[in-house]
Amino acid sequence: MKDTKNIIAEALEVLKKGGVILYPTDTVWGLGCDATDPEAVEKIYRIKNRPDSKSLVLLASDLDMVARYVKEIPEMAVQLVEVNDRPMTIIYPDAIAAAAGEPADRHCLAHNVVAEDGTVGIRIPMMDFCVELVSRLGRPIVSTSANISGEPTPKKWSEISAAVKDAVDYTVDPSLESGATGQSSSIIKVGLDSTIQIIRK
């Protein structure tokens, strides 16, 4: 088994070059890329054979990182993050994103990770490996399940299809999957007025 620091360094090198990684998260195995790079995001849509009208969930290292990519964090979202004890994705209003056709800008999310209504789903992972990876990159990464669209979500490395494994630029050592719960996160949409809508429990 490789040292975790070396794995993170290798994954970062791929992410910075616009590559796609296959990695374990605090929920299930995911496909990831730099969420500010629209071309890298497009690669993930192609791998999953997924319509780009469907937005993608992102991972951020902490609320400070979230605050750089949304215009305002509702107070209710702060409270939810503070008391949360299981994987939770929050859908924030008013994402800060580049316009379609603009080059990658690390200060703006790629246009193709944001929903048509301007919202974006972001999770602060409950897994040290993911937190360190995102923190070291310095910007959010995509976290979408590692499956072809319409196929079952793989909970373990052994369940990921060969087509997905062959399509990525880097695969994180499967020994790190012990931190994954195998369960999808809850999804809660929070408005600027702190109203909440539970999308998935």
Tell me the average pLDDT across 119-142: 96
Range of the domain at 17: 4-200
Give the pLDDT of residue 92. Answer: 97
CA distances from 196 to 90, 136, 181 (A): 10, 31, 25
The overall pTM is greater than 0.85: yes
Q: Are 55 and 114 in contact (CB under 8 A)?
A: yes
State the CATH number of the domain containing residue 112: 3.90.870.10
What's the whole-number average pLDDT of the chain? Answer: 92
pLDDT band at 1; cut points 50, 70, 90: low
pLDDT at 180 over 70: no
Give the pLDDT of residue 74. Answer: 94
Q: Which two tokens stand for residue 35?
A: 């969420």
Q: Are 168 and 21 in contact (CB under 8 A)?
A: yes
Q: How many CB atoms lie within 10 A of CB 113?
A: 27
Give the pLDDT of residue 69. Answer: 97
Phi and psi (nearest 5°) for 88?
-140, 130
pLDDT > 90 in the chain, percent: 74
Tell me the average pLDDT across 119-131: 95
Question: Cα separation of 141 and 37, whole Å?
Answer: 10
Number of structural domains (the chain) is 1
Tell me the average pLDDT across 194-199: 89
Give the pLDDT of residue 179. Answer: 62
pLDDT at 199 over 90: no
Of the candidates 34, 54, 44, the one whose C-alpha atom is nearest the C-alpha of residue 121 is 54
